Amino acid sequence: MARSPERAAANIERQHNPYSWQRAVGLFFMALRVAALADLEAVEKIFAEVLDLSAATDEAVQEQQRRKLDALLSYASRHVPFYRELARRPRMALSDVPPVDKATLMTQLSLTCAEPGLDVEELRTHLAGNERNSAFALFRERYYVRRTSGTTGYLGYFLWDGPMSRVAETSATRFVPAPRDMPKPVVAVNPIVVWHPLQALFERLHALPLGTGLRRTVDRLNELRPRTLMGSPAFVTELAEEQVDGRLRIQPEVVVIGSEHCSAVQRQCMREAWSVEPLEQYGLSEAGLIASRCAGGNFHVHADTVILEMLDDEGRPAREGERCARTLLTRFFGPVQPIIRYELGDLIVAGPRRCPCGGPFPTITSIVGRMKPQMWFGTQDGGVIALSAYVLIAILEATRGIVRYQLHYEEPGTLEIRVLARTLVDEAHLTRQLESELTRRGAISPRIVIRAGTVPSVWATSPTANAKEHHLRIAVTREQMLAWMLARVD
């Protein structure tokens, strides 16, 4: 059918008009992007405020938490699909936000992150190959990607950028010097710590990665002669033993430990080896340093950059000295991939509101370890019960002389505990303590075998290959324990 001259002219005008509908749509989305960047810049400006410790009164901390939480929830409700529901509430509160775990954040990454079109495979590919070489390669020309260790069963991938790093460093250096201000050379050992190549070159920073092994690490440390030593408590304790035995010959002035639980025995080993008090920090790949241990023995939570909800079984704030049933983290930086009420999975003991050292911020008495490692036992009524491995570990760590241990629970009915000790351990008494604790918690104690002096120098990993749980080999499942209990009845 022939077109009228008027319709033909209108079509030509639409095709050549610079303000056609396609261009209008493009301009609309560009305006949304500019508005989102302006929102991000505004919230990052609020997050950049970190209190000087001398000014960190309860009132100042509460005011900062209020402002930062309002900014975080407001940004998340507008730009992160997972939290859009919050925008419908007349007033947003932290308790309105459902807790999340690492599995949720990773399996729903496109919904829990404001960066469009993001998926785990893209982040995994970015870090493929040599993680140390790709750690400072920019992702999408803005972010660094940090990978978590996977002790909860999921590897986590988290975006970091310049503003986040500055907040994290400003917060941390109130409690522990920055690497550039530590006595040189600085050497970070197992697990992996990555310096920027230029920073490492000019500031005499060295990193010995996972896989170097104990013997090669000792040789390299004897060459480098570090004045500052950084690493995980377990590995640094091994190095302390090497120092006492004369194979390692270094005299660090500063020892910084973190990334996992450190026992009193491990700290004593370090003191004996180097005559220094280790600086113990509590941090995560997801949030940097979040708590620092003071001379009084408590960890001070950096409450102006994170909120740490320490809750009991009823979801109420845990009392001083009470072991928390769950711990939730909210991070006041990095709103593009927000961390709000994030399940840590760590066993934490709530500390006093006022620390004897006089320092500010809420405290943690101790970080016992992971909640995740469960051990299945039978019960007197023929059922099964799951207990955290740390109910037994607490007894081992309180036993005088034990330096290192491994729990082997690889078949129902037998629990083998391997220990290294500096003094003679009363194995019969230790066995009775362990049996009594299991009975008190409603479990039938398996046959407990104590093997002294049998922990290998290179520790075997657990079947799940959790680097932070090298002291556990737990293979007994609920199904295996149920079958074993049924077989006993038969």
Q: Do 329 and 237 sit in the same domain of this protein?
A: yes
Same domain? For 341 and 414 the reply is: no
What beta strand segments (E) does 358-413 contain?
Answer: 363-370, 374-378, 384-388, 402-411
Q: Is the peptide bond before 90 cis (omega within 30 degrees of 0)?
A: no
Are 454 and 398 in contact by the 8 Å Cβ rule? The answer is: no
Q: Beta strands of 108-190 (E only): which ranges?
A: 144-147, 157-160, 186-189
- Within a domain: 151: no
Please give the sequence-ordered ranges of beta strands (E in DSSP) within 83-212, or none if there are none. 144-147, 157-160, 186-189, 205-208
Q: Residue 463's domain spans which residues? A: 374-489
Q: Are 168 and 305 in contact (CB under 8 A)?
A: yes
Q: Is 490 helix (H, G, I), strand (E, B) or coil?
A: coil
Contact call for residues 405 and 396 (beta carbons, < 8 A): yes
Whether residue 54 is contained in a domain is answered as: no
DSSP label at residue 90? S
Q: Which residue matches tokens 């500031």?
A: 203
Q: What is the domain-level CATH number for residue 180?
A: 3.40.50.12780
Domains held by the chain: number: 2
- Which residues, other chains included, contact 297 with Cβ-Cβ below 8 Å and sequence gap of 6+? 365
Q: Mark which of 354, 369, 384 sits at the end of a domain.
A: 369
Q: Please, which residues have CB within 8 angstroms of residue 420's CB and are 6 or more apart in sequence?
A: 402, 403, 404, 405, 452, 453, 455
Query: Within a domain: residue 38?
Result: no
Q: Whole-model pTM? A: 0.74
Length of the chain: 490
**Same domain for 249 and 358:** yes
Cα-only R_g, the chain: 27
Q: Are residues 359 and 389 in the same domain?
A: no
Sheet containing 402-411: which strands, arranged edge to edge?
447-452, 414-421, 402-411, 472-474
22 vs 270: CA distance, rounded Å:
67
Show the 3-state SS of 300-354.
Answer: EECCCCEEEEEECCCCCECCCCCECCEEEEEECCCCCCCCCCEECCEEEEECCCC
Identify any residues that bridge with 461 across adjacent strands, giving them in sequence order.
none
Do 341 and 387 fall within a single domain? no
Select from 337, 369, 401 the last residue of a domain.
369
Of the candidates 168, 77, 173, 396, the residue with the CA atom closest to the CA atom of residue 263? 396
Torsion of CA 290, 184, 357, 49, to 10 degrees: -40
Cα angle value 138/143/149 (rounded, 5°)? 100
Residue 81 lies in a domain: no
Q: d(Cα 291, Cα 299) in Å, to the nearest integer? A: 6
Question: In this structure, what CATH number is given to the domain that contains residue 430?
Answer: 3.30.300
- Contact between 437 and 443 under an 8 Å Cβ cutoff? The reply is no
Per-residue pLDDT of the chain (490 residues; tens, 9 = 90+): 555 655 555 565 555 555 566 666 666 556 666 667 788 899 999 999 999 998 899 999 999 999 999 999 999 999 999 998 877 777 778 888 999 988 899 989 999 999 998 988 888 888 775 555 556 788 998 998 888 765 555 678 899 999 998 999 899 889 888 888 899 999 988 655 667 777 777 888 888 876 677 888 999 999 999 999 998 887 898 899 899 999 999 999 999 998 777 877 888 889 999 999 999 888 888 888 899 998 888 999 999 999 999 998 888 999 999 888 889 999 999 999 999 999 987 778 899 988 988 888 999 998 876 655 788 999 988 889 988 887 888 788 778 778 778 889 999 999 999 888 877 889 999 999 999 999 988 999 999 999 887 555 444 333 333 445 557 788 888 889 999 988 887 6
Cβ neighbours, 10 Å, residue 109: 20
For residues 229 and 236, the answer to whether their CB atoms sit within 8 Å is: yes
380 CB neighbour count, 10 Å cutoff = 9
User: Is the residue at 152 inside a domain?
Assistant: no
Residue 243 and residue 313 in one domain: yes
Q: Phi and psi dihedrals of 457, rounded to 5?
A: -70, -35
Query: Per the domain annotation, does 463 fall within a domain?
Result: yes
CB atoms within 10 A of CB 480: 15
- Whether 336 and 203 share a structural domain: yes
Is the domain of 448 the same as that of 402?
yes
Residues 287 and 431 in one domain: no
Domain match, 334 and 468 both: no
Give the CA count within 13 Å in the CB-facing half-sphere of 89.
16
d(CA 473, CA 270) in angstroms, rounded, equals: 26
Give the separation between CA 59 and CA 70, rounded to whole angstroms.
17
Clarify whether residues 166 and 278 are in a common domain: yes
Q: Are residues 427 and 351 in the same domain?
A: no
Q: With respect to residue 479, please indicate whether it lies within any of the assigned structural domains.
A: yes
Is 118 inside any structural domain? no
> At which of 369, 388, 415 does a domain end?
369
